[in-house]
Homo-oligomer: A and B are copies of this chain.
Amino acid sequence: MIMGIVTADMSMSLDGYIAGPKDDGNPGGELEALDTLHAWMFPPHGDFEQIARERFENVGAVVLGRRMFDLGEPFWGEDPSFHAPVFVLTHRAKDPLARKGGTTYFFVTDGMQRALAQAREAAGERNVMVMGGANALQQFLKAGLLDELLLHLVPVLIGEGIRLFENTGVEPIALEQMSMTETAGVTHLRFRAGRRNQND
């Protein structure tokens, strides 16, 4: 059976941050750095509907961390762009949360490997997207579970906050650049991450 691949998709500042010090996950709090990092997706820079459609076109399931879920959920709202099951890595068991358009949030308490297995099963021939946050992506990178990484590199130095690449281990991880494009001054870089564990 053909399986989809495991991808990740993150907006990062040139100095390596995916969130600023004020982006603390409190709904309604200040999101200065997050706004800066995601501005390319929204008018007048980008067409959010089109970007979201393309982004999730081949995605059959999503994996994300609990902190990112708490931060993003109020924004994603009643009709999220995922249109797919979303597996949230958490320590607290909760009933699934169904939204419009095919999105259901499932709360997985038994770890990254188990969340990925469930996501792959749900996705079938389509891809699994690891949406972040940093901690979740680091775990996937370090475990060699990622096939592709799409980075949106935003030309700003934020100076402090949450770095995407930390705790990936001292063993160098070589990626392979597959493509680069530019929209609204942001560089979109796609890398082959070289999954180390092919035993599915």
Minimal Cβ-Cβ distance residue in B for A179: B182
Q: Say yes or no: is A58 at the interface (Cβ < 8 Å to chain B).
A: no
Q: Say yes or no: is A172 at the interface (Cβ < 8 Å to chain B).
A: yes
B16→A165 contact, CB < 8 A? yes
Q: Say yes or no: is A1 at the interface (Cβ < 8 Å to chain B).
A: no
Of residues 109 through 146 on chain A, the ones whose CB sits less than 8 Å from some CB of chain B are: 141
B177→A180 contact, CB < 8 A? no
Q: Say yes or no: is A96 at the interface (Cβ < 8 Å to chain B).
A: no
B185→A156 contact, CB < 8 A? no
Binary contact track A152-168/B, C-beta < 8 Å → 1, others 0: 01011111100111001
Copies in the complex: 2
Note all chain B residues with C-beta closer than 8 A to A189: 153, 187
Minimal Cβ-Cβ distance residue in B for A20: B172
A157→B172 contact, CB < 8 A? yes
Interface size on A, residues (CB 8 A): 35
B168→A177 contact, CB < 8 A? no
Note all chain B residues with C-beta closer than 8 A to A173: 156-157, 159
B159→A175 contact, CB < 8 A? no
Q: Known contacts A141-B157, A174-B155; is A165 also within 8 Å of B36 by CB?
A: no
B187→A177 contact, CB < 8 A? yes
State the CA gap A180–B175 with chains docked (Å): 19
State the CA gap A158–B189 with chains docked (Å): 18
A–B pairs, 26, beta carbons within 8 Å: A14-B191, A15-B16, A15-B168, A16-B16, A16-B163, A141-B157, A153-B153, A153-B189, A155-B176, A155-B177, A156-B173, A156-B174, A157-B168, A157-B173, A157-B175, A159-B169, A159-B170, A159-B171, A159-B172, A159-B173, A160-B170, A177-B182, A177-B185, A180-B180, A180-B182, A187-B189
List A residues at the B interface (Cβ < 8 Å): 14-16, 21, 33, 36, 141, 151, 153, 155-160, 163-165, 168-177, 180, 182, 185-187, 189, 191
